[in-house]
Amino acid sequence: MSTATATHDAHEDHGPAKGLMRWITTTNHKDIGTLYLIFALIMFMIGGAMAMVIRAELFQPGMQLVDPAFFNQMTTVHALVMIFGGVMPAFTGLANWLIPMMIGAPDMALPRMNNWSFWILPFAFTLLLSTLFMDGGGPAAGWTMYPPLVLQTGDAFPFMILSIHMMGISSIMGSINVIVTIMNMRAPGMTLMKMPLFVWTWLITAYLLIATMPVLAGAVTMLLTDKFFGTSFFSAAGGGDPVLYQHVFWFFGHPEVYILILPAFGIISQIIPTFARKPLFGYSSMVYATASIAFLSFIVWAHHMFTVGMPTAGELFFMYATMMIAVPTGVKVFNWVSTMWKGSMTFETPMLFAIAFVFLFTIGGFSGLMLAIAPADFQYHDTYFVVAHFHYVLVSGAVFSIMAAVYYWLPKWTGHMYDEKLGKLHFWLSAISMNVLFFPQHFLGLAGMPRRIPDYSVQFTGFNQISSIGGFVFGLSQVLFCYIVYKTIKGGQPASEKVWEGAQGLEWTLPSPPPYHSFVEAPAIK
């Protein structure tokens, strides 16, 4: 961090405060973006370490390393950390850095709230992670926190609920900031339909967050009162309904999965045109497809619950509605491929990650479509097939898009080119090991291995070993990623204003790195 300070100082007259206080009191969108991104990277490594524990225990049948109770804590906290601590803050960090520079605004609209929404997060996650050291350990009922099981959580329970409230408050404030900024601070002439797609997808994502985070807060608050204040929202014995929780949770949870992927769509839609040297195919249909996906995300939640025993009509409705999502998602994939078609492509690291995204995310989409078919889901549900599915859309989807974004904009942020050779090495290691890690899990699920089990029947050994080896390589590859980022911040080839030959957009008209306060005067939009 101190070196980042130095680089900024060298460029700025009325620059940031010195030392630690700069980061604690900052209201600058670039500083806050950096904080979010570094925080996300730390959480990504912590959540990854938990995944390593999981894969190590599953390397062979029998219990070798941990107890079942601790194993369940690992799967639960891994998911919470990766979703709420890794992917979401990373996207918010990208939004902070990029949205003002993309729409020609000097900063985010609500800078003090921006500071607060970030600084809540370290406290929320300290609270969550501290539960691992309490008597009885951390939460172990899965990130979905289904009652009645979650009500058996020990001392960790209220800490988990409070930390989720804090994450929710942080996300809601971040989203308000994004919406207000985009609605009010665009440079003159930057009409909505001229906005870069990353800005569009984030605008829609922000609305999803504001709509669903309070629902999650409501659900977990009901858990809290069920546990401590004698209510029976989810207890059948008291006249409540445990399935009600699942409906409320997934009403949040399904839009949440689009919160985790829509900004990724935006990133990929920025990167592919740059390296294909060709404008994005079907800009307006991309915007409409994003909006349709967001709308559909609110009416498909119960496809996570086909096996809870719904009426036939309900199952049919949720099956049909879920299948419909394939249409706008397909439009996006076709548009990306058409953008590449007859382009003049080069394959720098961001483009490699973007192409891998299109390929692997689509595979995750296919398995998603299979899961949408309710009768088949009676077999797939809660097996490793589902684990493979959501890691294809979240790791090779969300996480790869974030990595693509980092390689793409890091030269702009730091003024230094990253090491292209190392970047490509990181890409190939990640892309190959990711498939070694998750592809065999499709077979495991189909062959009958349930998810969230610490030990398995010996017939599943082979694929679990392959998967674990892939996992260890993937985990180690991310250490290389940390090194590449560190090295680029420290120094490297100076980056030009435009950085990439085919880059389009306002952020590429600023110097690299951009001044501490950019677009103090609104730029002219052609």
Partner 1 sequence: MKRSTAVKGVTTLASLLLAESASAEYRLNMTQGVTPISHDVYDLHMTILWVCVAIGIVVFGAMFYAVYKHRKSKGAVAANFHESTFAEFAWTIVPILILVSMAIPATKTLLAMDDLSDSDMTIKVTGIQWKWKYDYLDDGISFISSLAPEHNQARQRDSGIDVTKIENYLLEVDHPVVVPVGKKIRFLTTANDVIHSWWVPALGWKKDAIPGFINEMWARIDKPGVYRGQCAELCGKDHGFMPIVVVAKNESDYRDWVAMKKQEQADALASADRAWSKDELMKKGAQVYATSCAACHQANGQGLPGAFPALAGSALVKGPVEGHIDRVMNGKQGTAMAAFAGLLSDVEIAAVITYERNSFGNDTGDVVQPATIKAARK
Residues 374-403 that bind partner 1 (CB under 8 A): 374-376, 378-379, 381-383
Q: How far from the centroid of its chain's Cα atoms is residue 214's Cα?
A: 19
Catalytic position from the list 269, 367, 414, 433: 269
CB of 199 to partner 1, least distance (A): 18
CB of 348 to partner 1, least distance (A): 11
254 labelled catalytic: yes
Separation of alpha carbons 349 and 420, rounded Å = 7
Find all residues with CB under 8 Å of 138, minimum gap 6, and list them: 73, 76, 77, 128, 129, 131, 132, 156, 160
Residue ranges in 147-166 that form contacts with partner 1 under rule CB under 8 A: 148-149, 151-152, 154-155
Find all residues with CB under 8 Å of 468, minimum gap 6, and list them: 55, 56, 58, 59
Q: Which is nearer to partner 1, 100 or 147 (CB)?
A: 147
Which whole-number Å values give the CA distances from 491 to 419, 485, 514, in the listed order? Answer: 10, 10, 16
Taking residues 52 to 91 in sequence order and writing x for each that binds partner 1 by CB under 8 A, - otherwise, the string is ---------xxxx-xxxx--x-------------------
Q: Does residue 337 bind partner 1 (CB under 8 A)? A: yes
Among 17, 21, 316, 479, binds partner 1 (CB under 8 A): 316
Stated as kind and residue range, the H or E segment containing 166 is helix 156-184
CB 139 within 8 A of CB 72: no
Separation of alpha carbons 141 and 425, rounded Å = 38
Q: Which is nearer to partner 1, 108 or 276 (CB)?
A: 276
Separation of alpha carbons 131 and 167, rounded Å = 16
Among 446, 469, 482, 525, binds partner 1 (CB under 8 A): 446
Residues in the chain: 526
CB 461 within 8 A of CB 491: no
3-state secondary structure of 416: strand
Among 10, 20, 21, 327, binds partner 1 (CB under 8 A): 327
Q: Where does this chain touch partner 1 (CB under 8 A) — which range of 20-28, 111-119, 235-243, 482-490?
A: 235-243
78 labelled catalytic: yes
Q: Which is nearer to partner 1, 369 or 525 (CB)?
A: 369
CB of 329 to partner 1, least distance (A): 9
Q: Where does this chain touch partner 1 (CB under 8 A) — which range of 81-89, 169-177, 187-195, 321-329?
A: 321-329
Among 15, 106, 122, 136, binds partner 1 (CB under 8 A): 136
Q: Does residue 285 bind partner 1 (CB under 8 A)? A: yes
Applying CB under 8 A, the site for partner 1 has a residue count of 102
Q: Does residue 366 bind partner 1 (CB under 8 A)? A: yes
Q: Where does this chain touch partner 1 (CB under 8 A) — which range of 43-51, 138-146, 214-222, 423-431?
A: 138-146
Q: What is the token pair recorded at 122?
A: 């370290």
Nearest to 171 by CA among 90, 109, 254: 90
Catalytic position from the list 256, 315, 348, 377: 256
269 labelled catalytic: yes
Which whole-number Å values give the CA distances from 101 to 30, 261, 375, 509, in the listed order? Answer: 10, 22, 48, 9
Q: What is the token pair recorded at 446?
A: 């189909």
CB of 328 to partner 1, least distance (A): 8
486 labelled catalytic: no
329 labelled catalytic: yes
Q: Which is nearer to partner 1, 25 or 346 (CB)?
A: 346
200 labelled catalytic: no
Find all residues with CB under 8 Å of 299, minimum gap 6, and list them: 321
Catalytic position from the list 26, 29, 92, 107: 107
501 labelled catalytic: no
Residue ranges in 454-513 that form contacts with partner 1 under rule CB under 8 A: 454-459, 461-463
Q: What is the token pair recorded at 35?
A: 């904080």
Q: Which is nearer to partner 1, 56 or 447 (CB)?
A: 447
170 labelled catalytic: yes
CB 397 within 8 A of CB 261: yes
Q: Where does this chain touch partner 1 (CB under 8 A) — which range of 178-186, 343-351, 479-487, 518-526?
A: 343-351
247 labelled catalytic: no
Q: Does residue 318 bind partner 1 (CB under 8 A)? A: no
DSSP per-residue codes, 211-256: HHHHHHHHHHHHHHHHHHS---TT-GGGT--HHHHHHHHHHHHHHH
Q: Does residue 369 bind partner 1 (CB under 8 A)? A: yes
135 labelled catalytic: no
Among 137, 253, 350, 423, binds partner 1 (CB under 8 A): 137
Q: What is the DSSP letter of 187?
A: P
256 labelled catalytic: yes
Stated as kind and residue range, the H or E segment containing 73 is helix 68-80
Residue ranges in 185-214 that form contacts with partner 1 under rule CB under 8 A: none
DSSP per-residue codes, 283-333: HHHHHHHHHHHHHHTTS-GGGGGGGGT--HHHHHHHHHHHHHTHHHHHHHH
Among 8, 227, 391, 412, binds partner 1 (CB under 8 A): 227
Give me the active site residues, please. Answer: 78, 107, 143, 170-171, 254, 256, 258, 269, 303-304, 329, 332, 451
